[in-house]
Structure 1
Amino acid sequence: MIIETDDFDEAVHFYRDVLGMPEQPAFAPDGEDRVSILHAGIATIELATPTHVRTIDAIENAPTVEGPTLRIALEVADTAQAVAVSKPSGTGILAPPTETPFRTINARVQGPAGWQVTFFQELETLEQRSSRQGFSTDDRRAR
């Protein structure tokens, strides 16, 4: 994922310094040609219909944004702590820590460059979740 931003310093400060993502060496010439590659751990891509996005907005008590949006979701050890750590950098809290029906604690903040950042804390293992009703893969889900 590449986040293009007009305020590079603000974005680097938020993701590297506030959220603690380690920076790795990256190529960029001098001047305004800048890049920072940050290790975000293991990544997943979540594809969701507009209906599902609205469902998650409602569960997280987050504002609904009309039209397609991109949102980064970061797994953290403690959602409340992640929100507290991000607050001094000027991020607005869009949704406070909320326990979800899918056994995570989610919160959403406004990150730099217009991106929404969801922090989520897992409360059960993938194996536990997979055995519960309602959890399946798309190819096995009734339509």
Structure 2
Amino acid sequence: MNREAIMANEPSPRVRQLRLVASVPDGEDFEAALAFYRDVLGMPVQESYEAEGDARVVILDAGRATLELSNAAQVRFIDRVEAEGRPSAPLRVALEVDDSDASTAAAVEGGAELVAEVRETPWRSRNSRLEGPAGLQLTLFQELGPLEDAGEGDG
């Protein structure tokens, strides 16, 4: 059955929100992880809840969410461009920021491990790669403009 036939016969379910859930492992500092994502990267608290047994969740607002699916060849290409070929994790969190240089410096100062320095990519962004708290591999990226604005030879 083709896509049009499916869409004509049944209402398609609509995702209303993408929420990435990161578990802070026992032994890691939950408060430090929260401070990093909330204070260092600037994600405001949207909701928070506590339950029995010291259970706690804090939902941070990350702005607009998208799901990027890349095949293995594209992932290898991104890894070469963004991180000198160092393989990315199966799930990598990419966060758009206003200033990649300042955000990367703040993230490292706030406890993230720098994997790859900020660099301009062929797709017109300035990207860095980091290892953040709660086991999240991060790409911080700053959009520079549409590809058609790139000069000749920029990819």
Q: Who is 2:93 aligned against?
A: 72
Distance in 1 separating the partners of 2:79 and 2:73: 10
User: SS state of the match for residue 94, structure 1?
Assistant: strand
Shift of 1:83: 0.7
Q: How does 1:1-143 map to 2 (within 5 A)?
A: 1-6=20-25, 7=28, 8-65=30-87, 69-124=90-145, 128-129=146-147
Give the TM-score of the pair, scaled to structure 1: 0.80
Task: Please say which structure displays the higher CA radius of gyration.
Answer: 2
Percent of residue pairs bearing the same amino acid type: 42
Distance in 2 separating the partners of 1:115 and 1:99: 22
Aligned residues: 128
Paired residues of 2:47 and 2:60 also in contact (CA < 8 A): no
Give unpaired runs (5+ residues) of structure 1. Answer: 133-143
Kindly tell me: are residues 63 and 116 of structure 1, through their superposed partners in 2, closer, same or farther at Cα, counting changes over 3 Å? farther
Give the TM-score of the pair, scaled to structure 2: 0.74
User: SS state of the match for residue 81, structure 2?
Assistant: helix
Shift of 1:129: 3.9
Higher strand share: 2
Shift of 1:79: 0.2
Between 18-27 and 79-88, the greater mean CA deviation after superposition: 18-27
Paired residues of 1:71 and 1:118 also in contact (CA < 8 A): yes
Distance in 2 separating the partners of 1:98 and 1:123: 12
Distance in 1 separating the partners of 2:33 and 2:73: 30
Between 13-22 and 1-10, the greater mean CA deviation after superposition: 1-10
Shift of 1:62: 4.2
